A and B are shown apart, each in its own frame.
Chain A
């Protein structure tokens, strides 16, 4: 490999340049993986809200926290035109501690009566082991764990885990979805209601009938009904509630995350720009040093095109090597980062094949493009002048 030997001629400089690209690609891989993770979370949210309306008590934000809602409200919504099924649910935080750094939703307990959606819920759930909750589980303390939570508790089917000081038997574990369910513990409705009541402060709790409360309702419209229109109707006719639809979710979350993604990718690209400039610098110096050699090659019959190709290939090789090393480093960082976060169920990175491939290709193309400027210069050298060059 003559190209490799040419790179090896100026070891320090080539190494520094390749290191520059490596750092740029590493940044791109790490930030890109983070952006992938955010995208997957958002995509999961969008999918979840597709074709349904989530109703919460006024003052809630995106179905988290907020005031309890009476299941009776379901009876008020049910008769509205365009409503097919109304499913109450209870959602509460798994722990009272507020996590300082959090990516996506915090771990939650989700309670609902299995099958109450009458087959309308289309969000795909796959079970790694065990089974789904069933209606007959009501009254029993059983739980289906999301993949991240299962890993956090190191739990398998048949084990007992403690959720908010109550023992639950694990009956199923979900495959990773890369979004909210990974961090959820799914329990029967009654169990969730019991846990939820305990989180309310005394006087409020006393007035409520434990088994009549929910934290939200999922409304499935009849086929052909526009969820956005139905949401407007619910907002107008039912007092004390607020609705959340796919459009609301995208407006609130999608916009914020695409901005965040743009910033992350931007940081990666800036580091690469610096890497690219250093390729230009290295190759320009190398062309200057090799002026004589280029003169000889031109004299004995190398065409301009061949000289250009030689230099572009050499700098593309630098880009490729830097890109591969950067990918390796990025892989190590994202893997270690995810391993470290696993115990707290905080998975920050999702390094996809697409991100890896795009990063390395980008580095290679960047190297080639950066090499083109010095290559052009080299190919324009007059052979006689180049031969005389000292």
Chain B
């Protein structure tokens, strides 16, 4: 069953009056529940934009032609208000970014429980969930440290704990290993794989890194705002033939 499905996804950035960039030129994509997939492609291929649309951070352009469609677990996401999309991000999704993106004034634990607060969980329950999530990424003893007191790898693991703390259905990660050396990258990937296996979480990684791609179940390859290869190769599960039109 597809947890995320999109059709006719387009996005044009208007940089100036005469300079429009078509980041996505009508993309059709389907991600199965429990998949760990990589979206790969050169810079400017539209992979981050696709991830942002799938993560409800960006709304797809309203098209002149066939309307943009986006479904999360079968529910229509294309016409939701900003507030409704924010709520879904808080409760059903987890995000990891390249630059770790922790709040500098908060401790590791507070950074993690921030996600609980936004999902409507507070107090002791949030604290316990935060500590559990930090323990999962192996940082239980660093809970009281501020980001500046943590190494890059540790900061990224805090960010992963934050993405995990609400047990979201989907984790979306934009270049999560982009600023890490290869040992730390391997640790982070192993964590993602562990959650994917143990909790059945769907994981979508945007990456440049071929090794990251190899560690995933499937690689979607993008170029010039279109998907060139849905990656349903040998290892990929059998999917409905929606890719035929691509």
Seen from chain A, the residues whose Cβ lies within 8 Å of a Cβ on chain B are 2, 5-6, 9, 292-293, 295-304, 306, 382-384, 387
Contact = CB atoms under 8 A, between A and B. Distances in A.
B76 interface: no
Contact of A300 (B82, B106, B118): B118
Given A295-B101, A302-B90, 8 more contacts: A2-B106, A299-B89, A299-B95, A301-B119, A303-B83, A303-B86, A384-B52, A384-B57
B103 interface: yes
A306 B105 contact: no
Most chain-A CB neighbours within 10 Å: which of B94, B97, B119? B97
Nearest to B91: A301
Contacts of B89: 299-301
B115 interface: yes
30 contacts: A2-B105, A6-B105, A9-B104, A292-B101, A293-B103, A295-B101, A296-B97, A296-B102, A296-B103, A299-B95, A300-B89, A300-B95, A300-B114, A300-B162, A300-B163, A301-B87, A301-B90, A301-B93, A302-B114, A303-B83, A303-B86, A303-B87, A304-B82, A304-B86, A306-B118, A382-B58, A383-B57, A384-B52, A384-B57, A384-B58
Nearest to A295: B101
A365 to B, nearest CB: 26
B164 to A, nearest CB: 12
Interface string B118-140: 11000000000000000000000
B162 to A, nearest CB: 7
Given A299-B57, A301-B115, A9 B95 contact: no
B119 A387 contact: no
Contacts of B104: 9, 293
B110 interface: yes
A175 to B, nearest CB: 53
Nearest to B106: A2
Contact of B103 (A297, A301, A304, A383): A297
Contacts of B82: 304
A303 B119 CA distance: 10
Contacts of B93: 301
Given A5-B105, A384-B57, A297 B114 contact: yes
A2 B110 contact: yes
Contacts of B102: 296
Nearest to A5: B105
B161 to A, nearest CB: 12
Contacts of B162: 300
A8 to B, nearest CB: 8
B71 to A, nearest CB: 20
Contacts of A301: 86-87, 89-91, 93, 115, 118-119
Contacts of A302: 86, 90, 114, 118
Contact of A387 (B97, B114, B118): B97
List of 7 A-B pairs having minimum Cβ-Cβ separation, nearest first? A301-B90, A301-B118, A296-B101, A5-B105, A301-B89, A303-B86, A384-B52
A103 B75 CA distance: 76
Contacts of A306: 118
B105 A9 contact: yes
Contacts of A384: 52, 57-58
Contacts of A9: 104-105
Most chain-B CB neighbours within 10 Å: which of A6, A295, A297, A383? A383
Nearest to A7: B105
Nearest to A296: B101
Nearest to A383: B57
B101 A387 contact: yes
Contacts of A296: 97, 101-103
Nearest to B58: A384
A142 B118 CA distance: 77
B10 to A, nearest CB: 16
Nearest to A388: B48
Nearest to A301: B90
A152 to B, nearest CB: 56
A303 B93 CA distance: 15
Given A296-B101, A299-B95, A304 B83 contact: yes
A271 B204 CA distance: 55
A297 B162 CA distance: 11
A306 B118 CA distance: 9
A300 B88 CA distance: 10
Nearest to B101: A296
Interface in B155-191: 162-163
A382 B14 CA distance: 14
A302 B106 CA distance: 16
A377 to B, nearest CB: 16
A282 to B, nearest CB: 16
Interface string B63-98: 000000000000000000011001101110111010
